[in-house]
Amino acid sequence: MPFSRVVGLGLLLAVGAAASAGDVGFQEAFALARPKVVVLRVHRAQSQSLGTGFLAAQGVVLTARHVVRNARQVEARVNGNTYPVELAYEESAQDLAALVFRKDDLLMKPLALADSRELAPGDPLLIVTTQAARPGANAETEQRLAIPAILYRRALKRGPTAAPGPQLVLQTRVERGDSGAPVLRISDGAVVGLLISRELPDEEDVSRLAYAIPAEVAAPQVARAAGQIPIAAGALGEFYLIPLARP
């Protein structure tokens, strides 16, 4: 399966060189994440918009808080079906929001969350986003984009409303509408971050750095939201941070 989008030949070659022969690989990681990255339709008092999120636990969608801010109603488009979801937890300081499905008729294995602190600068990553969420996009809600990225560094950056917190700084090119997308490590397709912003575009309207909340920061909020899902006991999948396997 070819990439839906190639962002900079130099970046792609660098990411490819950093990946080892034992990695899951770009294509496999994209195929694993694709059905679990959802389109969020956000209804507000006088407008509506599309956003991106992903299944982070059984029945839980994780996204950036600003994607669903001031929403009166939110729907998640998953595998051709639309489901109502509601806000279970939000964290304005880190720009996080966790949504839960109102019904238990969607039982899909979520993406695994991993501890980003075991990453090293230069490690290859992959962002999977929804093309339909981009401003002016004329795309089907089922279309997904695979965007290669490299971990540039970890940093303490000020959130929207609070003191500085940990963020992943990524070498990549993303656009408006990509917030809420999962950042995957290539080695096993696990989520290491949640995309929340990008640097200001240059004179050519290009951003070369993006910022993500580490998965281990979001994990407690996801677990808290998972505890609010009104489904039968034992139906929740195990929530965990999987370790990074290095040779």
**Residue 125 sits in which domain range?**
9-34+111-215
**Sequential DSSP letters for 53-103:** EEEEETTEEEEEHHHHTT-SEEEEEETTEEEEEEEEEEETTTTEEEEEESS
Distance (Å, rounded) from C-alpha 1 to C-alpha 138? 22
Is residue 246 assigned to a domain?
A: no
- The CATH number of whichever domain residue 29 belongs to comes to 2.40.10.10
Distance (Å, rounded) from C-alpha 128 to C-alpha 125? 10
- Statement: residue 183 has pLDDT above 90: yes
Q: Which residue has the tokens 């990411």?
A: 15
- Statement: residue 225 has pLDDT above 70: yes
Give 128's pLDDT tier (boundaries 50, 70, 90): very high
Closest by Cα among 56, 31, 167, 181 to 113: 56
Is residue 241 assigned to a domain?
A: no
Is residue 233 assigned to a domain?
A: no
pLDDT in tens, 33-47: 999 999 999 999 888
Domain count, the chain: 2
Comparing 9 with 154, the larger pLDDT belongs to 154
Closest by Cα among 205, 60, 79 to 135: 205
Is residue 117 assigned to a domain?
A: yes
Residues 42 and 84 in one domain: yes
Residues 105 and 173 in one domain: no
Residues 203 and 223 in one domain: no
Distance (Å, rounded) from C-alpha 59 to C-alpha 230? 10
Mean pLDDT of 142-158: 91
Residues 191 and 223 in one domain: no
Comparing 204 with 78, the larger pLDDT belongs to 78
Q: Residue 142: count other Cβ atoms within 10 Å of its Cβ.
A: 15
Residues 122 and 104 in one domain: no
Give the contacts of 69 (CB within 8 A, at least 6 positions apart): none
- Statement: residue 182 has pLDDT above 80: yes
Helix (H) or strand (E) holding 32: helix 26-33
Q: What is the mean pLDDT of the chain?
A: 80
Q: Residue 247: count other Cβ atoms within 10 Å of its Cβ.
A: 4
Q: Which pLDDT belongs to residue 189?
A: 94
Is residue 235 assigned to a domain?
A: no
Residues 51 and 121 in one domain: no
This prediction's pTM: 0.82
Distance (Å, rounded) from C-alpha 148 to C-alpha 170? 10
Q: Which pLDDT belongs to residue 34?
A: 93
Residues 101 and 191 in one domain: no
Q: In terms of DSSP bridges, do strands 241-242 and 113-114 run parallel, antiparallel, or are they unpaired?
A: parallel
Provide the token pair at 130: 């929804």
Share of the chain above pLDDT 90, in %: 50
Residues 46 and 93 in one domain: yes
Is residue 236 assigned to a domain?
A: no
Residues 48 and 153 in one domain: no
Encode 150-178: b = buried (16+ Cβ within 10 Å), e = exposed: bbbeeeeeebeeeeebebbbbbbbbbebb
Closest by Cα among 241, 209, 6 to 114: 241
Residues 80 and 149 in one domain: no
First vs last Cα of the chain: how many Å apart?
A: 27
pLDDT in tens, 65-81: 999 998 899 999 988 88
Distance (Å, rounded) from C-alpha 37 to C-alpha 148? 16
Residues 106 and 117 in one domain: no
Closest by Cα among 92, 211, 96 to 161: 92
Mean pLDDT of 88-104: 87
Q: Which pLDDT belongs to residue 6?
A: 36
Is residue 118 assigned to a domain?
A: yes
Is residue 98 assigned to a domain?
A: yes
Residues 15 and 105 in one domain: no
